[in-house]
Chains A and B, each alone.
Chain A
Amino acid sequence: MKKKMGWTSLLLALILTLSACSGSGSNKDNGAVNSDSNGESSEGSEKPYEVVYAYPTFDNVPVDIQLVQDEINEISKAKINVTVKLMPISNSAYGNQINLMMSSGEKMDMFAMLGNYNTQVSKGMLHPIGDIMEENAQGIIDALGPDYYNATKVDGVSFGVPSIRDLAQDYGFVMRKDLADKYSIDFSQIKTFDDYGKLFQVLKSNEPDMVSAANASGGSILGTYRTYDQLGNELGVLLNNGLDDLKVVNWFASDEYENMVRKLREWYLDGYLLKDAATTPESTQAVLKSGKAAGYFSQMKPGFESQEGRIVGQDMVAVRTVSPVAKTDTVTNVALGVSAKSENPEKTLQFLNLMYTDKEIVNLIDWGIEGKHYVKADGQDIVIRYPEGVTGDNVSYKNYGWMHGNQFLSYVFEGDEPDVYVNMDTFNKSASKSKALGFTFNGDPVKNEIAASNAVLDQYKRVLESGAVDVDKVLPEFLKKLTGAGIDKIIAEKQNQLDKWAASNSAE
């Protein structure tokens, strides 16, 4: 009996798995696809191809999403005979859903990636779209410019495209303007990381109840302030943002890192930082709003001060100590890709092309329908605001412009500088470029080491960079554990891949 039971369940499971794998080919939505691939010639009368577009959302699904989608489809059907189905997925489930949909072969053509372009490439989730793009969707490449387009290539082929927004970053410290004015702080005096100490001292002596630098929950005081090219995952980096050479080093063992955490420790002991920095459950902006802190370190971009000022509810002023630089990670940070399981990558890409070239489509996705979800500000061409009676809380459609295609085609919301995107474009073009811009690390050969090292980072990085612990004791322990987890193997692998990439690059 026991044996029999075992066999039946095995058999059932086998059938099941087979059906699961063939499932991708026998799905309901097939009709459209087949007719499409057979009848490429009979365009016009044929059924439009439906592109399912999945992306994460941090808010409730907007009420009017269907209306907006219909408007988009009207345009895209006329132009390229494609319709789109927007599929916003709660960010808390997004990673899981993409994995699950990819393994079950559910219909999904295109999806957004936040910070995991390289792992999605190495997991085989993406269709290599480079060739199609170069032939049929030149609009995307033109919009991106050759440098940034090349940054998406893995082994010579592009697997996805970044949304067009701030593709480079500069780094610095942003703080309340009223405090800076009151104590007439001279920002030109602050040139290096160490110089912040002087600023903090002034603040502390005048506002003893306030700390100088806050940090977000889950983040360290340094936050996203970076002076190195992280090459995908911070395990093995290029110093000085990759502007000097292609030598991969262990950032956490560098003198620069040691100096930074020692400074942070000093500042912590002097009371410049939150005592609870390593555990705070609040966002930096909320801490500033409450008057508990004066500012914070961050990555930056043009218009950063006014963006943060709006969130904090006060005027902000920023000092930048690392000049703008573009790295693979700052480019592919937010990217769109075509699913490896897509039945029609060509059609999908045609739609993607519209997201980079068609002003109407971009604004429909980003802002919704004119007159209903936004109106043009008086006498303005590109500046918009909410209609009477509508606020950010009750507007029935909203979305994230920085995620969907070419944000530079999008309207500017009242309150931002009207030329913010022009400035950002200049910023992108003028930023210096890491020597490794365009190198995408494939972590697959060392995935065990990466998992073990990430667990170590999670344990030490935040406490060290919050000044909460004794550097002399904890830093060596941290490095020892990293070595134990195999960081050297990761660095060697990275260096190897990087050298190969550099060689093939110069050959081209």
Chain B
Amino acid sequence: MALENKGLNWIANLVLSLFAAACLIPFALLIIASLSSESSIIQNGYTFFPSEFSLSAYDYLWGHSIELGRAYGITILITVVGTAVSLAITSALAYPLSRRDMPLRNFWTFVVFFTMLFNGGLVPTYLVYTQLFDIKNTIFGLLIPGLLMNGFNVLLVRTFFLTSIPPALIEAANIDGAGEIKTFYKIVLPLSLPIMATIGLFQAISYWNDWFNGLIYLTDSRLFGIQTILTKMITDIQFLTSSSNAAGSASHAAAELPSTSVRMAIAAIGVLPILIAYPFFQKYFVKGITIGAVK
């Protein structure tokens, strides 16, 4: 028995370390490319052993350090606030949907699900948010549209509650006189830390990675978050390096951009902070919560 478990442990380590390598190697290549000189990339392609190292990409980014610093601040604020609010309203909506005795449960689930299939598209959404709520060029433009909550997470959490929280537990709490809302945050939520950590992570990633809201709901670039700036840089470089643009004259501006290595450096500085924050979420991936003990 023990032998068999050990065997599985070995297989698990083998498979996972291979996959981990597959994830890490391209990332390492990216970092090295960001440190390579422009002409060595063009001459020899991306390689782990570039013929010439250069810090020009980071120099270029350093030249924008004030802007990037402010953008990091905005993104961190948005990510923290957004994730917290999102966890609250997502779990609050998901819990009643998971209760088998909840009236109209299927209907409301469908209401949630439907939003994942149909959307009005960019223009109508923009009209709702700018005309009705006037969030253009405010921080709410980064926080609310599209990101605050999504049907996917709601259904995920609902399914989790459905499968992992025994109804008997809730009944017991009710009999003890705990109100529904109290039961929810005193009993259900503490038992759901893994899924909360999971969607918390998803939300944090999607806030961190979002550049689209910035480009749509902001024209004032002082409010841009880090990914908006980075995406803007990448697409501007892409536009300037392509000759197919209608205004050939635009290539003026391409003058001194160390384009390839900058793109890689941009990717690197966009990813690193969230990697640093990752262990925070992992804390809650605790194995073996014994629900039985409560029963």
- CB atoms of A and B under 8 A apart anywhere in the complex? yes
Which of chain A's residues 254-283 have a Cβ closer than 8 Å to chain B? 281-283
Q: Please state if B39 and A115 are interface contacts (CB–CB under 8 Å).
A: no
The proximity string for B residues 64-83 relative to A, scoring 1 for CB distances below 8 Å and 0 otherwise, is 10010000000000000000
Q: Please state if B132 and A16 are interface contacts (CB–CB under 8 Å).
A: yes
Q: Please state if A291 and B219 are interface contacts (CB–CB under 8 Å).
A: no
The proximity string for B residues 159-177 relative to A, scoring 1 for CB distances below 8 Å and 0 otherwise, is 0000000000000000000
Q: How far is the CA of A334 from the CA of B107 in the complex (A)?
A: 53
Which chain B residues border A215 with CB–CB below 8 Å?
Answer: 243
Does residue A7 face the partner (Cβ distance < 8 Å to B)?
no
**Chain B interface residue number, banded:** 35 or more
Which of chain A's residues 57-114 have a Cβ closer than 8 Å to chain B? 58-61, 87, 89-93, 96-97, 99-100, 103-104, 106, 114
Does residue A486 face the partner (Cβ distance < 8 Å to B)?
no
Q: Please state if B216 and A224 are interface contacts (CB–CB under 8 Å).
A: no
- Nearest to A304 among chain B residues (CB) is B248
The proximity string for B residues 92-112 relative to A, scoring 1 for CB distances below 8 Å and 0 otherwise, is 000000000000100100010
Give which listed residue, A2, A166, A286, A394, contacts B107 with CB less than 8 A: A2
Which chain A residues border B253 with CB–CB below 8 Å?
Answer: 58-59, 400
Q: Please state if A60 and B259 are interface contacts (CB–CB under 8 Å).
A: no
Q: How far is the CA of A115 from the CA of B221 in the complex (A)?
A: 25
Q: How far is the CA of A19 from the CA of B130 in the complex (A)?
A: 11
Does residue A208 face the partner (Cβ distance < 8 Å to B)?
no
Does residue B235 face the partner (Cβ distance < 8 Å to A)?
yes
Does residue B250 face the partner (Cβ distance < 8 Å to A)?
yes
Which of chain B's residues 113-132 have a Cβ closer than 8 Å to chain A? 122-123, 126-128, 130-132
Which chain B residues border A290 with CB–CB below 8 Å?
Answer: 38-39, 42-43
Which of chain B's residues 231-276 have a Cβ closer than 8 Å to chain A? 231-232, 235-236, 238-256, 259-260
Q: How far is the CA of A219 from the CA of B238 in the complex (A)?
A: 12
Does residue A402 face the partner (Cβ distance < 8 Å to B)?
yes
Which chain A residues border B111 with CB–CB below 8 Å?
Answer: 5
Q: Please state if A19 and B132 are interface contacts (CB–CB under 8 Å).
A: yes
Give which listed residue, B43, B107, B127, B242, contacts A16 with CB less than 8 A: B127
Which chain A residues border B216 with CB–CB below 8 Å?
Answer: 93, 96-97, 100
Which chain B residues border A2 with CB–CB below 8 Å?
Answer: 107
Q: Please state if B246 and A61 are interface contacts (CB–CB under 8 Å).
A: no
Give which listed residue, A92, A285, A292, A334, contacts B239 with CB less than 8 A: A92
Q: Please state if B231 and A400 are interface contacts (CB–CB under 8 Å).
A: no
Does residue B215 face the partner (Cβ distance < 8 Å to A)?
yes
Q: Please state if B243 and A284 are interface contacts (CB–CB under 8 Å).
A: yes
Q: Please state if A90 and B43 are interface contacts (CB–CB under 8 Å).
A: no
**Count the A residues whose beta carbon is within 8 Å of the partner chain — how many?**
60
Scoring A217, A310, A392 by chain B CB atoms within 10 A of each residue's CB, the highest score goes to: A217
Give which listed residue, A19, A392, A393, contacts B131 with CB less than 8 A: A19
Take A97-B219, A291-B43 as given contacts and tell me if A90 and B243 are in contact as well, using a CB distance cutoff of 8 Å: no
Q: How far is the CA of A58 from the CA of B249 in the complex (A)?
A: 12
Does residue A287 face the partner (Cβ distance < 8 Å to B)?
yes
Chain B contact surface mostly: helix
Q: How far is the CA of A417 from the CA of B123 in the complex (A)?
A: 47
Which of chain A's residues 371-395 have a Cβ closer than 8 Å to chain B? 392-394
- Nearest to B231 among chain A residues (CB) is A92
- Nearest to A407 among chain B residues (CB) is B249
Does residue B63 face the partner (Cβ distance < 8 Å to A)?
yes
Q: Please state if B241 and A282 are interface contacts (CB–CB under 8 Å).
A: yes
Q: How far is the CA of A59 from the CA of B221 in the complex (A)?
A: 11
Does residue A218 face the partner (Cβ distance < 8 Å to B)?
yes
Q: How far is the CA of A20 from the CA of B219 in the complex (A)?
A: 19
Q: Please state if A91 and B239 are interface contacts (CB–CB under 8 Å).
A: yes
Q: Please state if B126 and A218 are interface contacts (CB–CB under 8 Å).
A: no
Q: Please state if A1 and B107 are interface contacts (CB–CB under 8 Å).
A: yes
Does residue A39 face the partner (Cβ distance < 8 Å to B)?
no
Q: How far is the CA of A311 from the CA of B243 in the complex (A)?
A: 14
- Nearest to B45 among chain A residues (CB) is A276
Given contacts A218-B238, A402-B247, 13 further A-B contacts (CB under 8 A): A16-B128, A19-B131, A90-B221, A90-B232, A93-B216, A93-B232, A97-B216, A104-B130, A289-B39, A290-B43, A291-B39, A291-B43, A311-B252
Residues of A within 8 A of B (CB): 1-2, 5, 16-17, 19-20, 23, 58-61, 87, 89-93, 96-97, 99-100, 103-104, 106, 114-116, 165-166, 215-219, 223-224, 281-287, 289-292, 298-299, 307, 310-311, 333-334, 392-394, 400, 402
User: Could you give 24 example pairs across A and B, Cβ below 8 Å?
Assistant: A1-B104, A16-B131, A20-B127, A23-B131, A60-B229, A96-B215, A96-B216, A99-B123, A103-B123, A114-B250, A216-B243, A217-B238, A218-B241, A219-B242, A282-B42, A283-B240, A283-B243, A283-B251, A284-B243, A286-B38, A289-B38, A289-B39, A333-B246, A400-B249
